[in-house]
Amino acid sequence: MKAKIDPKREFHEPAIPAYEKAAPPPQGLRHKLLELGPDEYFESDGLTFVEWADRVADLLPRERLEVTLEVTGETSRGVTLGGG
């Protein structure tokens, strides 16, 4: 049985809904993601953000946008966008 999408973790502004998967400790991520029913999120009309996605890459959709954040200084961050 798939878990229902938690409405408290949905964002509807702007017009595209976004779903955030807050990461549990990395060692429990695979179990948690499978428990939540990733297809329900990935096949929706919204955006889904998964922390620690590199640890569950085989569960992610083949076509995806990967966003990598990097600390570049005390008050600065770098962003890299790539295809999956």
Query: Domain spans of the chain?
Result: 7-83
Q: Which residues contact 70 (CB under 8 A, 6 or more apart)?
A: 77, 78, 79, 80
Q: What is the pLDDT of residue 12?
A: 56
Q: What is the pLDDT of residue 1?
A: 43
Architecture of the structural domain at 7-83: 3-Layer(aba) Sandwich (3.40)
Pairing of strands 10-11, 18-21: antiparallel
Q: What is the pLDDT of residue 57?
A: 85
pLDDT tens digits, the chain, 84 residues: what are they? 444 555 555 555 556 666 665 555 666 777 877 887 778 778 877 778 887 788 888 888 888 888 888 899 998 889 898 886
Q: What is the pLDDT of residue 25?
A: 60
